[in-house]
Amino acid sequence: MAEQAPSAAGAPTRPATRPSLPTLETFSAFKSRPFTYLWINTMSFALVQATQRFAFVWLVIEAVDVGGLGRGPAWSGAVFFALGIPVMFVTIPAGVLADRINRRSLILGSQLVAVGVTVAAGVIIVAGEMTTTIALVLAVGVGATIAVGLPVRNAIVPTVVDRQTLLKAIVMMSMAMNISQIVGPALGGIAIEVWGIGGAFIAQGVVLLVGTLALVPLRVPDARSAGQQREPMQDLLEGIRFVWGHRGIRSLILLLAVTGIFMMGPFGTLMPQIAKEELGRSAFEAGLLFAFMGAGMTISSLGIASVPDLKNKGGWFIASLMTAGFVLPALGFSPWYALTAVVIFLGGMGGGVFMNLNQTLVQANSPHEMMGRVVGIHTLAFQGIGPMGGILAGFMAHLLGAPMWMGISGGILLALTTTAFLTQPALRKME
């Protein structure tokens, strides 16, 4: 499997690697109708996911008299932790199930639960009965549905497109996330301004329900093999042994865990607070910052999909991650909203390269029969460690201030990624 992904791009008739403008071939994954249905569902899922983290944090820090809970930065870290902690316990079992039962059924069930939890949150807020404890419980429920959906969706992709189209399909799935980063938080901010926080949650539930309809015509191959008789624990151990034995994937996943603590945690927890308290901005303006990040990710994602044959993917992956070491301090200490918007846009461009290449490297180097388990472990490293970073960021922001911890996190991330670039040739040479 390790050689399959680059084989098409590396055909002898290809010209030398060089960037090109997007063409219809960039979007060729949409020739597959099942992939199109999956993408529509992923788009709705990503749109709501992009708004929910923002909305939950805003709910906690907003004043009581306008529907919020009036809590400080430590509590914003707690709700970020609650949203992400299910990934640590649910993602790997979901990955094991994704290699054993019908993956469409897993997504359908998790998304229907997400609709119910999200609408319930809105109703409770509108009724004036929301408390910090209830908010944390609902955040855990939302996080559990996300933890199931992420690895299962990614495991489906190689089953609905051919090998030659896999890299473009991965980019298109990332594009759904990127577009959602542009539209989601901004629309979430508008919804909070117009309907209040409760109305924003109800709107999220409606979007999720619409996306669920795209799963009705979706048909994917059953993941079970005819002779499969092993226990789930045996399947899990097989996946862990594969990941640990593959030097490149092992290095990639360990580095992703570091990223969750020192990039995803501080950014997701502290950016709404910095926008509100340091820059004095409203919910809409704070959400717009995340839209700038999504715009940057969209541009770089299209660029990646339009490169005929990108070489040294592992090296580009680490280099793009290193840029976060400069972006985080700049965001923390920026005194102007316009400068923050520019920096977050540039950071999004680096993030687009990072996100697309990390998923490509994992799927191109993993056997199809254990894709769910590998993607589950990968998701645990990237998303599951983030809550720890959120708790740490909230605590350190309380002690040192949000800007200072953003700066420190950037310095630590830069040091660790530079070390990985210099000392991990297996990761650097992955294709």
Is residue 332 predicted with pLDDT exceeding 80? Answer: yes
pLDDT confidence of residue 284: 77
Token pair of 107 as six digits: 């997504």
State residue 150's pLDDT score: 83
Name the pTM for this structure.
0.72
- Is the pLDDT assigned to residue 411 strictly greater than 90? yes
- pLDDT given at position 8: 36
10-19, 31-40, 248-257: range with highest mean pLDDT: 31-40
In a domain, 173, yes or no: yes
Handedness of CA 124, 388, 266, 270 (dihedral sign): positive
The answer to whether residue 5 is domain-embedded is no
pLDDT on residue 342: 93
- Cα–Cα nearest to 89, from 419, 371, 319, 385: 385
- Find the mean pLDDT for residues 6-14: 38
Q: Determine, yes or no, domain membership for 230.
A: no
Note whether residue 25 is domain-resident.
no
Looking at the domain assignment, is residue 234 inside a domain? no
Tokens of 369: 């029969």
More confident residue, 76 or 227: 76
What distances in angstroms separate CA 222 from CA 38, 150, 233, one per listed residue?
16, 18, 20
Could you tell me if residue 284 is inside a domain? yes
pLDDT at 232: 77
Which residue has better confidence, 230 or 378?
A: 378
Nearest to 64 by CA among 142, 141, 132: 132
Considering only 182-196, 202-216, 409-423, which range has the smallest mean pLDDT?
A: 182-196
Residue 15 pLDDT grade (very low, low, confident, very high; cuts 50, 70, 90): very low
Q: Which domain holds residue 424?
A: 30-220+242-428
Answer whether residue 5 shows pLDDT above 60: no
Q: Which of these ranges, 50-64, 96-110, 379-393, has the smallest mean pLDDT? A: 50-64
More confident residue, 308 or 44: 44
Tally the domains of the chain: 1
Of 275, 278, 361, 277, the residue nearest 317 (C-alpha): 361
Q: Where are the alpha helices (DSSP H) in 62-102?
A: 73-84, 86-98
Most confident residue range from 49-63, 228-242, 366-380, 411-425 = 411-425
Segment 166-179 mean pLDDT: 81
Split at pLDDT 50, 70, 90, the class of 409 is very high
| The pLDDT value given to residue 29 | 82
Say what percent of the chain tops pLDDT 90: 13
CA angle (111 as vertex; 377, 122 as ends), nearest 5: 115
Give the residue among 194, 270, 248, 206 at the shortest CA–CA distance from 5.
248
CA dihedral sign of residues 76, 79, 81, 84: negative
In a domain, 20, yes or no: no
Q: Look at residue 336 in the predicted model and tell me its pLDDT.
A: 92
pLDDT confidence bin for 20, thresholds 50/70/90: low
CATH number, residue 362:
1.20.1250.20
> Does some domain include residue 128?
yes
Q: Is the pLDDT of residue 116 over 90?
A: yes
* Mean pLDDT of the residues in the chain: 81
Taking 90 as the threshold, does the pLDDT of residue 408 lie above it?
yes
